[in-house]
Amino acid sequence: MAKAIAALLAGAAAIALLTPPASAQQATDQQQTDPSEKTEDTKPAPAGVTLLDKILVISRTGETAIESLASASHVDQEQLDRRMATTPNEMLLGVPGVTVQADARRVSSSINIRGLQDFGRVAVIVDGARQNFQRSDHGTQSTFYVDPELIKSVDVIRGPVANTYGSGAIGGVVFFDTKDAEDFLKPGETWGASVTGRYESNGKGWTTSTSGAYKFNDNWDVLGNIVYRDYDDYKNGSGDTVAGTGFDVLSGLLKTTIRPSENSQLKLGWVGSSDGWTETSGSVPANDVDLKSNTFTARYNITDDAKSWLDLHINASYNKTNLDLTTLVPQNRFDPVTGLPVVLPAGSTSTFDVGTTGIDMWNTSRFETAGIAHELTYGGDWVGDDVETGGTSGGDSFYTPSGKRNVSGAYVQDRLSWDWLEVITGLRYDNYSLKDSDNETSGDRLSPRITVGVTPFESASLAGLQFYGTYAEGYRSPSLTETLISGNHPAGVTFPFLPNPNLRPETGKTTEFGVNYKLNDIIEAGDAFRLKAAYFHNDVDDYIEGVTLSAFDPTSGCPFGPGIPICFQYQNFAQAKINGFELESVYDAAWGYAGLSASIINGHTISYEGERADLATIPSSQVTGQLGFRFLEDKLTVGGEVQYNGKPKGNPVAKDYTLVNAFASYQATDNLKVDFRADNLFDVKYTNPLNGGTTAVIYEPGITLKLAATMRFGG
């Protein structure tokens, strides 16, 4: 039946994609403005504006993705609506260099950028708040969850050029910006409300979302949103049910914007979720999981009238995540202190409480000297993690030790522009300390950045062509788990974990060469072509990875004890070497759009003895094509996506695979919108290569049909 449905939908999609548009007009992409200024998403974009022309919320100097001399991408509200995302994984489809790992616990995700992930290598930020929750296990290590229904845009900056956004982000930064009242209300409205209902065939789940916004006056508005999702276990491409993949989650958002003056703005927000799911062992339910997350943010911006010397931002945030794990059946375990067998009774608990406090301040001053324009950005940030874990002896909390970590930094960056030349120079200072009841360690470092961009041509066809080269460094301190984990493995078989308080921080050193190109009015008036491409090479000195030590080797420091004669310890490697190529391009016209993105990544580690090994966190190389058509004065959009995934070198479970998706969106009336999407149209059975390190291969969902309707009211 599923195959017949897939074939039918594939034929319908092909007819829709190959039929010439009956009626088309200029695309109504909304151009996002500087977050410090008022914006109306309901305004149509001017001619020649594409996704890469949208201003990056994460940008501290107000540039768009196509203007950025870095590998930057922007995902806007239109794209998010089109993807009908259930999990964070689906929000980032086709973004080059970015892969999301989610095992059977698909409500929690870990983001991989250019082969780097976990333990803060990628900074995941929601409305300015770092998401540093960690629960170490055989799968993902550093996870987060934010409901896609609450998000209006996602910005990505790849590589350590993102070091002005916080310490440790040697892989890059992903910034999720939640919805505001002004994104929801139409011009002239003082209130608005909407209700969305969505059904998904695979997992047979429902999503319901209710939003409401109110504008008290021109200087004060508020938005609230509540989302509930309830899903059963999904089936993979072979039609087999994947145990433990069902979940139910309740999420909410409350956000208010206050404008004390014409040049200042204060945003106060709360984002929260309450999740539940069942973990399995050998397809048998083993643990009941309850997770609650609350993020509180305050973001203030003030400028002078000309936004010249003063463009000050002050962000403060607190994120608290509590995860309680309860065993459903008795489990044979080992005492983590003695290594002796114990029985973990049904009803035993493991608790993970992680609190993250952050402060981030910066100012940008704009001025000229001798005909050279300067954008001088300077600031500092501090993030503190407070981790408390516990529960029944022999439980899973053993893998994540308690402790405190403080990371702080300060930086200065100058962006100089003169005619065809642009130069960015920057310097960041990082400092960290971490401790538990028995150990304490600290360190600091200066990390430089220099970027040179040239726009050498003046002819109409080449005036939008820009070349750039970058050298940037980043600094990541060891995490609490990497440094302090100690005791005997409590499950399956027992062996010791050795702490390593002498771990050295990682230093990422990236060289990147890129090109930006933009051209308007190519085939018809108002169309636009944008392209970003880059080659990068990243050397991560003192790369940290878990290694297995033999008790038979007297130099390993691994003692004989109960269980098998090995130990596990996080150790430094001389280097991790990662290189690759990324491409992002889009053509947009009145009739529709076409996009192509690609990412090719290779990487390996080198020990201090010169031994080379494939890096386990290298994702699939990907090529993603997108095509969409607009009909009926842009009320109807139909299209599809094709993504090829190439097997990473040395991965034992990975295979090449190709996914095909189709979508349609119809604005039936001003108050009614209907969306349809078919993911994995041909029911391919595949697994994310990043899950190759887990104890069992997790196969991703097979064909999934989604149908949604949204009713909106306002006045």
CA distance 342 to 652: 33
Strand 122-126, strand 172-178: pairing: parallel
Residue 526 phi, psi dihedral angles, 5° rounding: 90, -5
Alpha carbon 504 to chain centroid distance?
Answer: 26
Residue 224's contacts (CB-CB under 8 Å, 6 or more residues apart) are 211, 212, 213, 252, 253, 254, 255
| Full DSSP string of 201-224 | TTTTEEEEEEEEEEEEETTEEEEE
CB–CB of 211/184 below 8 Å?
yes
CB–CB of 361/381 below 8 Å?
yes
395 to each of 8, 343, 694, how far by Cα in Å?
49, 10, 18
| 10-residue averages of pLDDT along the chain (715 residues) | 36 33 34 36 50 83 89 93 90 94 75 93 94 80 88 94 81 95 93 97 95 96 97 94 89 97 97 87 81 96 94 96 90 84 88 94 95 95 92 78 91 95 96 85 94 95 96 93 87 88 93 96 94 97 93 88 88 95 96 96 93 92 97 96 93 90 96 97 93 73 97 94
Closest CA relative to residue 443, chosen from 475, 474, 472: 475
CA distance 634 to 24: 6
CB–CB of 471/447 below 8 Å?
no
Closest CA relative to residue 38, chosen from 211, 267, 377: 267
Residue 142's contacts (CB-CB under 8 Å, 6 or more residues apart) are 110, 117, 118, 119, 120, 132, 133, 134
CB–CB of 413/374 below 8 Å?
no
CA distance 145 to 262: 35
CA distance 14 to 299: 46
CA distance 701 to 234: 6
pLDDT at 139: 67
Which three-class secondary structure state does DSSP give residue 606?
A: strand
Q: Which residues of 264-297 are buried (b: 16+ CB within 10 A; e: fewer)?
A: ebbbebbbbbbbbbbbbbeeeebbbbebebbbbb
How many Cβ atoms from other residues are within 10 Å of residue 183's Cβ?
19
Which three-class secondary structure state does DSSP give residue 337?
A: coil
Alpha helices in 383-489 (DSSP H): 480-484
How many Cβ atoms from other residues are within 10 Å of residue 670's Cβ?
9
Taken as a whole, the chain contains a residue count of: 715
Residue 604's contacts (CB-CB under 8 Å, 6 or more residues apart) are 576, 577, 612, 613, 614, 615
Q: Which residues of 503-516 are buried (b: 16+ CB within 10 A; e: fewer)?
A: bbbbbbbbebebeb
Tokens of 377: 């950005």
Cβ burial of 715 (10 Å; 0-12, 13-18, 19+) is: exposed
Which three-class secondary structure state does DSSP give residue 683?
A: coil
Tokens of 82: 């089109």
How many Cβ atoms from other residues are within 10 Å of residue 488's Cβ?
22
Closest CA relative to residue 97, chosen from 157, 151, 169: 157
CA angle centred on 373, ends 370 and 374, rounded to 5° = 110
Residue 213 phi, psi dihedral angles, 5° rounding: -135, 150
CB–CB of 249/147 below 8 Å?
yes
Alpha helices in 103-261 (DSSP H): 181-184
Tokens of 220: 């004060």
Which residue(s) pair with 714 in the sheet? 192
Closest CA relative to residue 597, chosen from 92, 64, 96: 96
Closest CA relative to residue 267, chosen from 429, 455, 129: 129
Query: Up-side HSE of residue 427: CA atoms within 13 Å toward CB?
Result: 2
Q: Which residues of 622-661 are buried (b: 16+ CB within 10 A; e: fewer)?
A: bbbebbbbbbeebebbbbbbebebbebeebeebeebebbb
CB–CB of 183/111 below 8 Å?
no
Tokens of 339: 């290594």
Q: Give the H/E segment covering residue 75.
A: strand 72-75
Please indicate, yes or no, whether the overall pTM of this predicted structure exceeds 0.95: no
Q: Is the four-CA dihedral 530, 534, 540, 546 of positive or negative sign?
A: positive
First to last CA, the chain: 46
CA angle centred on 81, ends 31 and 527, rounded to 5° = 40
